[in-house]
Structure 1
Amino acid sequence: MKSKKILVWFRNDLRLHDNEMLVEAIAKSDSILPVYFFDPSHFEYTEEGKINAENNSVQFLIQSVAALRNSLQRIGGNLLIINGSPEDRMPALVEQYEISEVYHHREVATKETTVSSNVEDLLWKLRINLKHFIGHTLYNKEDLPFPIKDIPDVFAQFKKKTERDAIVKGCFLSPETINLVDIEDWGEFPDHSSLISPDLIGGEEEGIRHLNGLFEEGAEIYARHNSRAANADKYVFSSKLSPWLALGCLSPRKVYWAVKNAERKFGTNPNFTHLILGLLWRDYFRFMFKKHHVNFFTDMISDVQHSLSAEAYDHQLKQWKDGNTGHRLVDQHMAELNQSGFISHASRLLVATFLVHVAKLNWIDGAIYFEQKLIDYSPASNWGNWANVANGGKDPRFKNAFDLDKHIKLLDQEIYDPSSASA
């Protein structure tokens, strides 16, 4: 009898824990073929033909894929590394190894969904099914208290109804053993330049270690300052979990239940509350993309009216990118972004406010630059946040969450009284 082989196509889901796709593939097959594609169209190359990993996000990705391979090897598995696009290489893989079905996680942004559609069409010609899984959100779409088409565009309404009427499911357990399709050569990682000392290290284990280390820190910071309740938000830390969440090294549910356990141990505090709020914002932006598709932000794209020549415009944009605007807060945050690939959410709002409302440059240029630089780049969150800073996004009451006047005031203070701005 012919055995059933399932190809597990890893994308932004680089983990063993809480991975329904992997768990189901193991349960429903005789053997699986885990695969990751390093798509050449996603990378810049040096003159020597190496992937340019001076960008922190590329280095973080390579570390995360390597960590996934190591995790799979520890339970008797492996990860096939393909240097090529899924569209070019998937059909031949399916035929060569007599694959019965392909599993993957569905994405929401145009570039990613186009790849899925192309692969699905190619597999359909081979009479092979591409099965879609959803594993990037805290709440499964089928568990929401409304269908996708009726999801509230106002974040406050989405948050209230979802928290009240939906439940967060438990995490799927990590598999303990894997039966593999028989392969002689599991592939090599692409030749790449490397950073000497990246600030954050990619991979599931590093993500879990970072997550577990947050709670005592968060409780300690809050306890030290809880007598100043009126200023509690000043003592909310930046968790820096987003890089591991963006690549799926951590699942949102893993973070959620870790926070709930920490609340039982340390009590509630704004640091823990903000972690869950961040997960809700991630869900909101992804579901907005799902509901509105690319219109989520293209409805708000308009020509910026300014008197600058093309040369002057490009010069001002370059000053912003290089952290050379003359505004200390903006320049400080942009320098940090360029060096590490990460700045806090508040910092992102501030530099975006400057670009759009002070320099009056096109927000699209800012969003594209963040896409290039952010170690935690996620299409829905990046483009959604930029659109909201520009003109309120789909939420007409976004000013409740983003206080433009406050950010302009911070920038004004920096302009007229630099000593008043925190270093």
Structure 2
Amino acid sequence: MGRKVVLMLFHNDLRINDNATLLKAAEIASTNNGRLLCVYVSDLADTLTKQTNKTPYYFDEMGRSRKQFLVESLVDLNESLQRLSNRLLYLPTDDLSTDKLPSTIDAFTQLCQLIEQHAVTDIYISQTADYHQNQAYKVLQHQFPQISWHRYSNNTLFAVMSSTKDLPKSFTQFRKQIEANHDLLNAENNLTITPMPKSLPPLPDDMIGNSVFFYKAQTFDKHAQHERCFKGGESSAISHLNSYFKSEAPSTYKVTRNDLDNWKHSTKFSAWLANGSLSVKVLLNRLRQYECEVIANDSTYWIWFELLWREYFYWYALTHLQKLFWFRGISQDAPSTCFNKERLEQWQTGTTSYPIVNACMHQLKATGYMSNRGRQIVASCFIHELGLDWRYGASYFEQHLIDYDVASNWGNWQYLAGVGADPRGCRQFNLKKQTQQYDPNGDFINKWQGNKISE
């Protein structure tokens, strides 16, 4: 058997612990003195799909906070790989890196050149619900039919479902089915965690002195950072995991989770889960440990409940594929909403006539984050009060949210627009009532200048 040259293509699995894809790639590359290329391409899917079939609601540039969180995640991943005697390779087609190639070759072409130059024999990827990313993989696989492809489950509680065709039409049905047949929260044993590699095979010899593809992060200035608590990367994710479950917060989560602006009142795991810096299996095992050693109550159960929501939308995205982005969603009828540039800009800039909505939108622009309650409030306003095409709202969230997850984001927007998994149809929130309930003294609105009518 000839020497293996393995390419590990990172996407939403930016960690070294509980990463079956990385471990298996390392194992096969270790045979017969093989080599390992650890590669991240930030816009592979954009190159082949969104840019060639560009929709009017698609954005051109990732928001500042989301970009910074991703950069920090890649820096941390690179440091972890270096400790294991390898390093992250990055195809610099945008401004996530300070080092630019002298050409303007697109990401897909750069990746193809890298594969050809080093005679890659195997490509390892983690399974994803990202339709556009999976389409890019198909094109790449067609381009190199001689290469062996390997996929592993890294991002979900369940590696497979019996059949995506049998996915329940509502979350409640899904939850009841899971808890009846696969109640992982109360199972006898913890979920199996893939061990971290002790070391990694080296890069190809001719890359050791070639720094063109070595990842180097851009520097962000620190102004305009409002109470920035999120920092990207596996190290930060594990630190937050430990501090959260050492506190009393899990035991009160169900009571506090709707708070609009308190760091400790919700779990805040979503950002690290979204780009794979944190394993959902590691998180669930830690929740089980908390229930065993501290307390099991409605609040700890509700954390499990939210993880099941995440799981449901993952399989929902895999089931409905490109319908996740259709105006009518999975429904037979299109919504009675439309595009209006002026109202869209008012919503985006937080200059509507609804102070609670404005405050949430200012918070999002400044921090890249918004509470789940806030997201429901602004989405309901977007669809019902402003009468806008829900896809423009989903795309704006994709641009700015540091915890953007394709399945959860687009699935939830469909849910609220009445074209998705909600059997009750459109869900409209009374904005006055929401304000009275969640910001009765106006503290949140005042802090985030919700009464400000212009920027």
Q: TM-score, normalised by structure 1?
A: 0.84
8 Å Cα contact 1:356-1:363 kept in structure 2: yes
1:221 and 1:137, CA in 2 relative to 1: closer, same or farther beyond 3 A?
Answer: closer
Select which of 137, 144, 152 maps to 1:123. 144
The aligned counterpart of 1:6 is 6
Query: How many pairs align?
Result: 394
The aligned counterpart of 1:194 is 220
Q: Deviations over 1:101-132 (max 9, x none)?
A: 111113223321121111111121xx112222
Give me the whole-angstrom Cα distance separating, in 1, the residues matched to 2:44 and 2:177. Answer: 42
Give me the whole-angstrom Cα distance separating, in 2, the residues matched to 1:398 and 1:216. Answer: 40
Corresponding residue SS for 2:403: coil
* More divergent stretch after superposition (154-163 vs 93-102): 93-102
1:29 and 1:179, CA in 2 relative to 1: closer, same or farther beyond 3 A?
Answer: same
Instruction: Give 1:269 deviation, angstroms.
Output: 3.4
Q: Alignment identity in percent?
A: 28
Corresponding residue SS for 2:2: coil
Give me the whole-angstrom Cα distance separating, in 2, the residues matched to 1:287 and 1:53. Answer: 26
The aligned counterpart of 1:226 is none
Matches within 5 A, 1:19-418: 19-30=19-30, 31-39=35-43, 55-84=64-93, 85-124=106-145, 127-141=146-160, 144=161, 146-166=162-182, 168=184, 169-182=191-204, 183-184=207-208, 185-186=210-211, 187-189=213-215, 192=218, 194-196=220-222, 197=225, 198-219=228-249, 222=252, 237-296=265-324, 298=326, 300=328, 305=336, 313-391=340-418, 393-397=420-424, 404=427, 407-408=429-430, 410-412=431-433, 414=435
Q: What root-mean-square deviation, in Å, do the aligned CA atoms of Structure 1 and Structure 2 show?
A: 3.0
Instruction: Give 1:221 deviation, angstroms.
Output: 6.5
Instruction: Give 1:414 deviation, angstroms.
Output: 4.5
8 Å Cα contact 2:174-2:312 kept in structure 1: yes
8 Å Cα contact 2:251-2:296 kept in structure 1: no
- What one-letter code is carried by the residue in structure 2 that aligns with 1:396? P
Q: Deviations over 1:205-259 (max 9, x none)?
A: 1011111111233448639xxxxx9x67768921111111111001111111111
Q: Is there any run of 5+ residues in structure 1 with no aligned partner, and where? A: 44-50, 224-228
Corresponding residue SS for 2:265: coil
Name the structure where helix makes up a greater proportion of residues: 1
8 Å Cα contact 1:202-1:244 kept in structure 2: yes
Q: Deviations over 1:390-411 (max 9, x none)?
A: 1151341478xxxx46x22x43
8 Å Cα contact 2:237-2:277 kept in structure 1: yes
Give me the whole-angstrom Cα distance separating, in 2, the residues matched to 1:61 and 1:232. Answer: 28
Give me the whole-angstrom Cα distance separating, in 2, the residues matched to 1:261 and 1:103. Answer: 32
The aligned counterpart of 2:55 is none
1:298 and 1:217, CA in 2 relative to 1: closer, same or farther beyond 3 A?
Answer: same
1:267 and 1:278, CA in 2 relative to 1: closer, same or farther beyond 3 A?
Answer: same
- What one-letter code is carried by the residue in structure 1 that aligns with 2:21? M
8 Å Cα contact 1:139-1:166 kept in structure 2: no
8 Å Cα contact 2:258-2:371 kept in structure 1: no
Instruction: Give 1:190 deviation, angstroms.
Output: 6.4
Give me the whole-angstrom Cα distance separating, in 1, the residues matched to 2:86 and 2:239. Answer: 23
Give me the whole-angstrom Cα distance separating, in 2, the residues matched to 1:274 and 1:392. Answer: 26
Instruction: Give 1:323 deviation, angstroms.
Output: 1.1
Give me the whole-angstrom Cα distance separating, in 1, the residues matched to 2:180 and 2:435. Answer: 41
Instruction: Give 1:192 deviation, angstroms.
Output: 4.1
1:38 and 1:136, CA in 2 relative to 1: closer, same or farther beyond 3 A?
Answer: same
Q: TM-score, normalised by structure 2?
A: 0.78
Give me the whole-angstrom Cα distance separating, in 1, the residues matched to 2:365 and 2:394. Answer: 14
* More divergent stretch after superposition (25-34 vs 15-24): 25-34
Q: Deviations over 1:121-150 (max 9, x none)?
A: 1121xx112222221111111xx4x32211
